[in-house]
Amino acid sequence: MKTNKSTAFEFIYQVAALIISVIIVHGVYVSVIRPGANAHIEQERQALAENPEHISQRNGFVLIKDHEQEACFVLLFWALAIMGWKGAQTIRERGMLQQNLVQLEDGQRILPEDSRDLSRTLEALPDRQRRSLLPRALLAALHRFDSARNIQDVASAAHNICEQEGERLESELSMIRYIAWAIPSVGFIGTVRGIGDALGKANKAIEGDISGVTQSLGVAFNSTLIALLISIVLMFVVHQLQLLQERYVLDAEEYCEEKLIRFLHTN
C-alpha cells in the first residue's frame, strides 16, 4: 500500500530518470557516436573513390547513429531505471521474509484474545516496514481472527491482501510495458522515414547515383533492427522483474500460513 507521499516521490523519480536518460544518451551521441559514424562514412567514401571494387564494412556507430535509435536507447535506460527502482523495493521487502515478525514457537497455540498483543508488535514496526506487504497481511489476518474467530476467514483475509498487492504490482508495470511497445514503434517510424527519403531520391538513382537511396534504406533497416534488439532485451528484464514480484507475493502468503495461521486455535 502506497501513501500519497511515496507515490509523489516515485513520480518525481521517474521524471528525473527520464531527464537524466535524455541528457546522458544525447551527450554520448553528440560526442562519440555521430562523430564516429560520420568519420567511418567518409572513410568508406574515400576508399570507394580510390577502389570501385572496395567492399564496405559495417560499423556499429553507423547502425545506431540516427535519431530513432537514440530515442530507443533513451526509452531503454528510462525503463531500466524504473525497473531498478521497483526491483530494489521488492528485494528490500523480501528481506522481511527472513524475520520472525510474530515470534511464535512450534507447538504454541494462539487464541482470538491473543490477537491484539500480536497486532501491537506488528504495529510497533517502523512506518516504512509496516506499509510492506507482509506486515499488512499478518495484521489483516490477526484483526480478522479477533473479530470473526474463524480460521478460514483468517486465511481468506491474508490471501486477499496478497492478491491485491499482486494486482497493484501488475498494474504498476503498465508504464514499462508501454515503453516496451513504444520502442519497436519508434523503430518503424525510422523505417517509414528512411523509405520515404529513398523514394524521394529515386530520380538520382535513375541517373546512376544510388548513394542517397542506399543511405536512406540503411536508416530504414538499421532503425528497425536496433529497435527490435532493444525490445527483446527490455522484455527479458520485464519478465524477470515480474517473476521476482510474483514470487514475493506467493512467498508472503506462504509465510502467513507457516508463521501464523497454523498456530491459530478457536478454543
Task: Provide the residue ranges of all domains of the chain, joining segments of one domain with +.
Answer: 67-263
Identity of the residue numbered 93:
E
Each as own residue / partner, the long-range contacts of residues 26-32 (CB below 8 Å, 24 or more positions apart, any chain) are 26/70, 26/74, 29/65, 29/70, 32/61
Mean pLDDT is lowest, of 6-20, 70-84, 107-121, 164-178, for 107-121
Which of 101, 172, 105, 166 has its CA nearest to residue 130? 101
Q: Is the pLDDT of residue 242 over 90?
A: yes
Is the pTM higher than 0.95? The answer reads: no
How would you class 266 by CB atoms within 10 Å of its CB: exposed for 0-12, middle for 13-18, buried for 19 or more? Answer: exposed
- For the record, the C-alpha cell of 249 comes out as 507475493
156 in helix, strand or coil?
helix
Amino acid symbol at 110: I
Q: Apex CA 196: angle with CA 76 and CA 234, to 5°?
A: 15
151 contacts 266 by C-beta, under 8 angstroms: yes
Place 74 in a pLDDT band, splitting at 50, 70 and 90: very high
Q: Are 113 and 79 in contact (CB under 8 A)?
A: no
Alpha helices, DSSP H, located in the chain = 4-28, 34-50, 60-63, 67-94, 115-123, 127-130, 133-148, 151-172, 174-200, 202-206, 211-259
| Torsional class of 245: left (φ above 0), alpha (ψ -120 to 50), beta (otherwise) | alpha
Max mean pLDDT among 18-32, 136-150, 249-263 falls in 18-32
Residue 205 has pLDDT above 90, yes or no: no
Whether the predicted pLDDT of 10 surpasses 90: no
- Residue 80 has what pLDDT? 96
> Greater confidence, 100 or 238?
238
Question: What are the CA-CA distances from residue 233 to residues 100, 136, 154, 230 (Å)?
Answer: 38, 35, 42, 5
Alpha helices in 64-114 (DSSP H): 67-94
Q: What is the pLDDT of residue 221?
A: 82
Q: For the chain, what is the mean pLDDT?
A: 85
| Residue 167 burial class via C-beta count within 10 angstroms: exposed 0-12, middle 13-18, buried 19 and up | exposed
pLDDT band of 4, cuts 50, 70, 90:
low
